Structure 1
């Protein structure tokens, strides 16, 4: 008997090694369709895993990825992509180790998941990519652009015919994502809810962006909205918010979040996550992960220096910057009602510092330009915008960056409509320029 016990004891480590590493992801279809599988495969390959195999799950919009790690242990990753809200439900029920969402967690969801910790902390709420909600029509539609007010009127059913928008076409056919979708939740939050209207009852609803975009591209009377990564043959319309210029969801305009319907793509982890879940999130944030983000048609958070074309409406100091310097592809934003940087900005600070270091521009080559929203007291908007730039300078200084100059431009050059709070929040930002 003792000899048998010794034999069994020696076999235990081998049995433990054979136990599969199992990771479960649930949530956003926008992310789960292609981006999450690509990130999982990329991470496995970076870890020298072998026999990596991707196959459809038992249900539509589900994926199973299997592999063998470097020590010979089996790995299994299940991805269930049925909408952002389903990710938070699965996380709360213990059916997921990580939730993917194409919109921020709501107050109600945060309260329901309080046992998992504060899911708005920097480690638990991680922005891994940017996306633009593209407003799409049939390729032959002659419409040149839309405002967010017009978008609301169309999707709420207040505008029924294309002729009301100045183009021929007859009745407007509406295409929208379903109620579980983070894309729909984002569109609702950015377009419908601020104007106190609801999606028209005759809109055709889709679980995923791919079939929606395909349907729009085949219907001459259609208008819809989808992830930028799923546009394909449809025509993408420029969108304006208030009096701001109409913009297309280009990589540059989405990276800076200047495009009115820009949104962030999130991974949410519990306060004490599985090591494999944390490892995947960190890989997604890495340069290798961000390269995969770009290849999948989303907008990465890697920092680039961009030329900005000057316009007569620019303030003289800003126009001079545009002529002599380059703007970095990020706008640093703040937590609502706070002078503290938001979670994305905290990681962007590290990316900015890394870029400046690699470019040999850590010392007195960067200029911070702060912006804000209108205030009743003269000069207050300019003061607050400069204070925002100072807050960014303090954080950059901890990363070894010595800033050349601070500029506060107040409520100049808004990127959103100041009539609504969400627009004012977007206008409170700091740009980084480099000589």
Structure 2
């Protein structure tokens, strides 16, 4: 991303210069007209160390594969609000891929089963319908945002990582070990799957999905996660601000996709429907395309979250520039409430909130409706239930 940004600025001879320390490098670009060379230092030691570098002034941008922790928000209070839209920037979406050896015949697991596996309570694949073979656990190391995501999404407070798990700083090394061990299982970002075998994952009553462009882009996949840039509010350095804008723009998001992650550029896709969807829902979306964006909301609030605020802009641009004669359908969903009518009402209100924001930009959806707790994408219990509070976008 940095290399593409420098080239877009007119830099010549843009190159990577490795440093002595592992996972550290310089990106250099020459600007002959200015008679100088620009250097950008990159240190990839995990999300937690990135936060420390932002706090001690060694970094302008903290790149993280997890959202900011509450204790980090509190630690940064004297500098900025890291949860504010000017501080928190979603770079792209990644699916936390669960991979096994290609010779393993297991095809899907639930989050509960993953927790049992990684805590050592299930230790043989035969207990999961697979071969009579010991499970070998491979995990990322403590400084990895991938580990933080797995710990939060899978282990939670219910499970503890088994002491038998082998830890890796590098996703590439982890995959290499899975390929060499028929009983191996590991978790990595989608960009590192390689020749390993992807498993479909379910959460509670939700359908099991493999990570794909649609399931990850909409964050319907059980182990989807956002990739972040954090700054201390609006950066004082104009080049940092410009780079952030480039990274989240159309060209920057195309680079995100080319690197194996999921971009936030809006696209229309064919989508299969679950067999038990209501007849009126099926009729409403018949012949329509699903858009690669779901709108989600701040926890405990009806307000759009930071990603959704920018997605409103992306969707409005997409409709104006590429689909000016098409119609939008906004369909809200939610979690369980004591009263089914209230659940449906809240889901429709969420769809109306998205409609209101789009209308301010001159985009007027054809229809908004809500289906309450129908068709969940996550469990109705625990922290993941917030994923059910979403608005799907369809295009006809």
Q: 1:412 to 1:109 in 2, by over 3 A?
A: same
Partner Cα distance (2:110, 2:340) in 1: 30
1:310 paired with 2:266, answer no
Partner residue in 2 for 1:65: 27
Q: What whole-Å deviation, never above 9, does each CA across 1:394-427 have from its counterpart, x for those lacking one?
A: 111111111111111111111001122x232000
3-state SS, counterpart of residue 369 of structure 2: strand
Structure 2's unaligned 5+ residue stretches are: none
Within the candidate set 345, 350, 353, 1:391 is matched to 353
Partner Cα distance (1:130, 1:218) in 2: 29
3-state SS, counterpart of residue 248 of structure 1: coil
Q: How does 1:163-312 map to 2 (within 5 A)?
A: 163-194=126-157, 196-273=158-235, 274-312=237-275
Partner Cα distance (2:185, 2:346) in 1: 40
3-state SS, counterpart of residue 351 of structure 1: helix
Computing the radius of gyration from Cα coordinates, the structure with the larger value is: 1
Contact preservation (8 Å) 1:131, 1:254? yes
3-state SS, counterpart of residue 392 of structure 2: strand
1:431 paired with 2:388, answer no
Partner residue in 2 for 1:45: 7
Partner Cα distance (2:365, 2:156) in 1: 40
RMSD: 1.3
* 1:272 CA displacement: 4.4
Contact preservation (8 Å) 2:234, 2:241? no
Partner residue in 2 for 1:106: 69
Partner residue in 1 for 2:121: 158
Partner Cα distance (1:271, 1:359) in 2: 32
Q: How does 1:115-154 map to 2 (within 5 A)?
A: 115-154=78-117
* 1:169 CA displacement: 4.0
* 1:179 CA displacement: 0.9
Partner residue in 1 for 2:380: 418
Deviation beyond 4 Å, 4+ runs, structure 1: none
Identify which range, 54-63 or 404-413, moves more after superposition: 54-63
* 1:233 CA displacement: 1.2
Q: How many residues align?
A: 394
TM-score (normalizing by structure 1): 0.88
* 1:63 CA displacement: 1.5
Choose between structure 1 and 2: higher helix proportion.
Answer: 1
Partner residue in 1 for 2:316: 353
Partner Cα distance (1:245, 1:133) in 2: 17
1:86 paired with 2:49, answer yes
TM-score (normalizing by structure 2): 0.97
Q: What whole-Å deviation, never above 9, does each CA across 1:115-141 have from its counterpart, x for those lacking one?
A: 221111112100011100000011111
Partner Cα distance (1:402, 1:166) in 2: 50
* 1:358 CA displacement: 1.4
3-state SS, counterpart of residue 116 of structure 1: coil
Partner Cα distance (1:233, 1:47) in 2: 37
Structure 1's unaligned 5+ residue stretches are: 1-38
Partner Cα distance (1:309, 1:237) in 2: 19
Contact preservation (8 Å) 2:340, 2:372? no
